[in-house]
Amino acid sequence: MFDIATHSCAIDSDVILESAVPTSGPVNGGTTVTLKGENFVSTEEILVQFASSGFVGNVSGTFISSSLLSCVAPAAIGPRSVDVTVALNSQQFTASSISFLYYVVPGTATIAPPSGPYNAQTPVQIIGTQFVDTQEITIRFQNGSNVAYANATFANSTSLSCVVPGFASAMFADVAIALNGLNYLTSAGTFQFYGMDFYVLQC
């Protein structure tokens, strides 16, 4: 039970946390996180805590349903893995927790090759720095309302790979990387989608 004198917190064993989407985000915070679990109740005191050794960040949670909450991840002190718990009354936190990884946003990257046919798939490599294997890395190709996405494969901290999907038509597209599949904060330049006609030669 919550102790007013010591501000210690009891454990709420009825509320269960099961998963989060995404499971990672940049150290400067701002990532919208959806929490899945059981027995959530709508209150005005929902608190979500991100904590590890030497760091505790508390933010307000938003009730969506008895199995879904959302919150905006707070800024962290450097890259780290934290445990996420929830208190429906701002005091009694869940016994169950889920892991959330904070990472440093990679700097500008490059894509090679920087072009391919719009009506075919092109394997590419993306070279940069400070890539992290989050299992959620997504590459976005965008020109205005024309958008395509590709799941990326982590090779190491300086290399990713993906297969560029087909695009609407021949055009240039801005390339951006989201290590968590949500926050597209790293530019990888542009990719040129060009037209390619195929002819059948008869002998």
* Domain ranges, ordered by start, for the chain: 11-103, 110-194
Which CATH code, of 2.60.40.10, 3.50.50.60, 3.40.50.300, 3.40.50.2300, is assigned to 110-194? Answer: 2.60.40.10
How many whole angstroms separate alpha carbon 192 and alpha carbon 14?
Answer: 53
More confident: 5 or 143 = 143
Residue 118 has pLDDT above 60, yes or no: yes
- Sequence-separated (6 or more) residues with CB below 8 Å from residue 20: 33, 34, 35, 36, 84, 98, 100
Work out the mean pLDDT of the chain and round it to a whole number.
91
> In this predicted model, what pLDDT tens digit does every residue of 4-26 receive, in sequence order?
333 334 455 689 999 999 999 99
Task: Say which residue the tokens 């990672």 belong to.
Answer: 24
What's 11-103's CATH class? Answer: mainly beta
Instruction: Tell me, letter by letter, the H, E, C secondary structure of the chain.
Output: CCECCCCECCEECCCEEEEEECCEEECCCCCEEEEEEECCCCCCCCEEEEEECCEEEEEEEEEEECCEEEEECCCCCCCEEEEEEEECCCCCEECCCEEEEEECCCCCCEEECCEEECCCCEEEEEECCCCCCCCCCEEEEEECCEEEEEECEEEECCEEEEEECCCCCCEEEEEEEECCCCCCCEEEEEEEEECCCCCCCCC
Residue 202 has pLDDT above 60, yes or no: no
> In this predicted model, what pLDDT tens digit does every residue of 15-57 receive, in sequence order?
999 999 999 999 999 999 999 999 999 999 999 999 999 999 9
Q: What pLDDT sits at residue 5?
A: 34
Q: What pLDDT sits at residue 103?
A: 98
Is it true that 11-103 and 110-194 share their CATH fold?
yes
Q: What pLDDT sits at residue 11?
A: 53
